[in-house]
């Protein structure tokens, strides 16, 4: 596919995270070096702490530049879908992507990929889509042409999707990949600072508010829940990405198995849910059953078309439904 194509569009999921942006920009950089015309299109705004990456300023935001994005899509002979397993994760961008007659390729590490692409590279056991992009480039003999900028992108994505390699990162090959990226001259310490030490004062005050006022802990269930409304987000001058990673923090409490976060979407009338767990507690199964979503075993999410109070009630029902696994000291998938 890479050899035959001339104009490429790369797309990734709504509210793109580090893995989505990192894999997209790295793939774009690699293909540009092979002489391809490449455009990266995202459904909506992505966090400021990812905008240091090379060519991040050239990413086309579909909800603001629909006409331009549709033109690029109509001209593409290859569309690469990264870090998504189904069109729904593209939000409104799904319509022109699915309608396009271009060849389509999916590279992703989420469960149960939908077959809307001509070529599917799906490996749920991978740490990240960035890992898969590296493996693909390596398999076709392209690591030698990988630039420092692309290596920075791939490291950023792998780092953010594993919580600085604190989960889903037990495969020894991951560290071989990291050594290859380091050989490209990247400064991982500087990248870590750009990602994790790049927040506003308002974000820190929001974090304090969450931990002191909003966090509910259910000791007997080894679980926690916190919620944020639009009014609360506005009070702390919320920017997209300001609560990135906060859902993981309650898992630092001794004995905690599950952390749940519900947030009113600032763009649509819905509640966004994020779930994180440890060991073999199936956060993805809970997300699918109660929050209309899914994901990985220990990192999942979804959304609900309801009020915050209704979402809280659903969260409590989910906790009760999974009480046996939460109370059990050896939670299993059943």
pLDDT digits (tens, 9 = 90+) for 186-198: 999 999 999 988 8
What average pLDDT does range 10-35 have in this prediction? 96
Please name which of 112, 88, 67 lies closest in space to residue 11, comparing C-alpha atoms: 88
Give the alpha-carbon dihedral of 153, 155, 161, 166, to 10 degrees.
-160
pLDDT at 232 over 90: yes
Check whether domain 201-327 has CATH 3.10.310.30, yes or no: yes
SS3 307: coil
* Pairing of β 60-61 and β 271-277: unpaired
Q: Is the dihedral of CA 266, 59, 47, 244 positive or negative?
A: positive
Question: pLDDT value at position 169?
Answer: 92
Domain ranges of the chain: 7-196, 201-327
Question: pLDDT value at position 329?
Answer: 56
Q: How many residues appear in the chain?
A: 334
CATH of the structural domain 7-196, one choice from 3.40.50.1220, 3.90.1640.10, 3.40.630.30, 3.40.50.450: 3.90.1640.10
How many percent of the chain have pLDDT more than 90? 89
State the average pLDDT for the chain: 94
pLDDT digits (tens, 9 = 90+) for 55-97: 999 999 999 999 999 999 999 999 999 999 999 999 999 999 9
Question: pLDDT value at position 2?
Answer: 81
- For every residue of 48-113, DSSP letters joined together read GGGTTSTTGGG-EETTT-HHHHHHHHHH-SEEEEES-SSGGGGGGGHHHHHH--SEEEEEE-SSS-
Distance CA 24, CA 105 (A): 13
Local confidence band at 241 (pLDDT 50, 70, 90 cut-offs): confident
Q: Tokens 């509640």 map to which residue? A: 271
Determine the straight-line distance between the first and last CA of the chain, rounded to whole angstroms. Answer: 41
pLDDT digits (tens, 9 = 90+) for 91-135: 999 999 999 999 999 999 998 899 999 999 999 999 999 999 999
295-298 contacts, C-beta under 8 A, 24 or more apart:
295/110, 295/111, 296/109, 296/110, 296/111, 296/124, 296/168, 297/333, 298/167, 298/168
User: Rg of the Cα trace of the chain?
Assistant: 20
User: At CA 126, angle to CA 165 and CA 171, rounded to 5?
Assistant: 55
Exposed, middle or buried, 93 (CB in 10 Å: 0-12/13-18/19+)? buried
Please name which of 22, 35, 23, 33 lies closest in space to residue 142, comparing C-alpha atoms: 33
Local confidence band at 334 (pLDDT 50, 70, 90 cut-offs): very low
């Amino acid at each position: 596919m890479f050899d035959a194509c001339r104009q490429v569009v790369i797309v990734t999921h709504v509210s793109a995270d580090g893995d989505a942006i990192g894999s997209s920009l790295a793939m774009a950089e690699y293909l540009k070096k092979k002489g391809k015309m490449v455009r990266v299109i995202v459904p909506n705004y992505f966090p400021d702490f990812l905008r240091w990456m090379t060519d991040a300023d050239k990413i086309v935001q579909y909800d603001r530049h629909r006409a331009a994005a549709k033109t690029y899509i109509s001209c593409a002979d290859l569309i690469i879908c990264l870090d998504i397993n189904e069109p729904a994760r593209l939000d409104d961008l799904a319509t022109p992507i699915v309608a396009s007659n271009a060849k389509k390729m999916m590279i992703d590490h989420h469960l149960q990929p939908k077959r809307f692409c001509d070529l599917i590279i799906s490996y749920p056991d991978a740490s990240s889509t960035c890992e898969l992009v590296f493996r693909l480039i390596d398999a076709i003999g392209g690591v030698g042409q990988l630039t420092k900028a692309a290596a920075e992108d791939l490291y950023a994505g792998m780092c953010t999707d594993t919580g600085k390699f604190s989960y889903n990162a037990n495969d020894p090959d991951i560290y071989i990949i990291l050594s290859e990226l380091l050989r490209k001259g990247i400064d991982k310490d500087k990248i870590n600072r750009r990602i994790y030490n790049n927040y506003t004062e308002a974000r820190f005050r929001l974090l304090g508010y969450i931990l002191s006022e909003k966090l509910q802990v259910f000791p007997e269930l080894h679980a926690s829940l916190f919620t944020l409304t639009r009014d609360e987000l506005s009070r702390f001058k919320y920017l997209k990405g300001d609560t990135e990673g906060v859902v993981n923090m309650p898992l630092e409490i001794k004995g905690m198995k599950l952390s749940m976060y519900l947030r009113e979407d600032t763009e649509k009338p819905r509640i966004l849910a994020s779930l994180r767990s440890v060991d073999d507690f199936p956060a993805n199964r809970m997300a699918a059953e109660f929050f209309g979503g899914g994901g990985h075993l220990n990192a999942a999410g979804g959304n609900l078309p309801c009020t915050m109070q209704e979402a809280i009630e659903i969260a409590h029902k989910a906790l009760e439904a999974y009480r046996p696994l939460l109370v059990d000291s050896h939670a299993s998938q059943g």
